[in-house]
Amino acid sequence: MTGQEGSEYDRLFYPFLFAGGNASAEEVLAQVRHSTREKCRTVVALRRQTLEQYGDIMVAAATAMASAIRSGATLFAFGNGGSTTDAQDLVVDLMNPPLPDCRPVPALALTNDIAVVTAVANDVGFDNVFSRQLIAFAHPGDIAVGISTSGNSNNVLVAFEQAKKQGLLTVGLAGYDGGKMAHSRTVDFCITAPSADVPRIQEAQATAYHALLEAIFTLLRAEHTILTKEQHP
């Protein structure tokens, strides 16, 4: 890669890639340090912006989710690629709560069973890999959480449509301008990380769903809905 190539973003965060063969080792290391600091500043700023811009929506979403869990809801989470791992992380924190003395909350990541995912993708179509599982597992009053950095992932949007048909509470996490997810009537609450940088979006989304979970557990603990492990051996 030469100094004439690359986007403005690349030049800001990866200046050492455009130095050609003229930069010394010390100069490259200095550029790496600068790049790392800039990324950290960007991450912190986006997380703050997301939480400030969508704070009221997050409170409303957490309240609705806590109410559903109080009534026995199961949470289903789904996404593609890196969003798959975020969906799984969200489920882990529900099934194995990081807060002391909390019992698990029923939750399932719809990417866990690769045999089911590939069978549906092959036989029915990839757009249906999540919606078919909701048909099989979900009940009215359950919760569907879909994650997409673009907000336009077809299989996530199709899953939201199916979730609404079945009477689920729906929560979406998006990036960019929210995409189709932000304007869909099938999404009850949409939280958007307003950025075009996918890694930064994913980092902000992780902060958002962890904040959601903390709020949910706080609400349930305050109402004594989540009993201690000692009370539920």
Q: Are residues 79 and 141 in the same domain?
A: yes
Residue 233, pLDDT > 70, answer no
Amino acid at 45: A
For residues 137 and 32, membership in a common domain is answered with no
Compute how many other C-beta atoms are within 10 angstroms of the C-beta atom of residue 232: 11
More confident residue, 97 or 189: 189
Q: Total structural domains in the chain?
A: 2
Whether 40 and 122 map to the same domain: the answer is no
Asked if residue 227 is part of any domain, the answer here is: no
Percent of the chain with pLDDT over 90: 65
127, 209: one domain: yes
Q: Which residues of 123-157 are buried (b: 16+ CB within 10 A; e: fewer)?
A: eeeebbbbbbbbeeebeebbbbbbbbbbbebebbb
Q: How confident is the model at residue 157 (pLDDT cuts 50, 70, 90)?
A: very high
pLDDT at 34: 67
Angle between helices 198-222 and 25-53 (to 10 degrees): 40
Say if 230 falls within a structural domain.
no
Average pLDDT over residues 46-60: 88
Confidence band for 29, pLDDT divided at 50, 70 and 90: confident
User: What is the predicted pLDDT for the residue at 23?
Assistant: 67
What's the domain range around 38? 8-46
**Cα dihedral across residues 25, 27, 28, 29: positive or negative:** positive
Which residues, at least 6 apart from 172, have a Cβ–Cβ distance to it below 8 Å? 145, 146, 147, 148, 151, 156, 160, 181, 182, 184, 187, 189, 190, 191
Please tell me whether residues 151 and 198 are part of one structural domain. yes
Q: Are residues 23 and 125 in the same domain?
A: no
Q: Within a domain: residue 228?
A: no
Which residues share a beta bridge with 172?
Answer: 146, 190
Residue with tokens 């902000």: 204
- DSSP-based three-state secondary structure for 154: helix
Q: Are 155 and 127 in contact (CB under 8 A)?
A: yes
Residue 106 is assigned to a structural domain of this protein: yes
Clarify whether residues 30 and 135 are in a common domain.
no
Higher pLDDT, 220 or 30: 220
Q: Residues 100, 144: one domain?
A: yes
Q: Let me know if residue 229 belongs to a domain.
A: no
CATH code, 82: 3.40.50.10490
Placement of tokens 């993708």 in the chain: 121
Q: Are 27 and 112 contained in the same domain? A: no
Q: Is the pLDDT of residue 12 over 70?
A: no
- Reported as a single tens digit per residue, the pLDDT across 68-91 is 999 999 999 999 999 999 999 999
User: Coil, strand or helix: which one is 189?
Assistant: strand
Question: Which residues, in sequence order, are bridge partners of residue 193?
Answer: 175
Given a cut of 70, whether residue 193 has pLDDT beyond it is yes
Give the residue, 114 or 30, on which the prediction is more confident. Answer: 114
Residue 207 clears pLDDT 80, i.e. is over it: yes
How confident is the model over 131-143, as pLDDT tens digits? Answer: 999 999 999 999 9
Determine the residue type at 186: T
Can you tell me the distance from the alpha carbon of 197 to that of 209, in angstroms, rounded to the nearest whole number? Answer: 18
Average the pLDDT over 132-155 and give the result: 99
Q: Do 20 and 58 have their domain in common?
A: no
The three-class DSSP label of residue 184 is coil
Task: Give the number of C-alpha atoms closer than 13 A to the C-alpha of residue 136, restricted to the C-beta side.
Answer: 10
pLDDT averaged over the chain?
A: 87
Q: Are residues 105 and 156 in the same domain?
A: yes
- Does 164 lie in the same domain as 144? yes
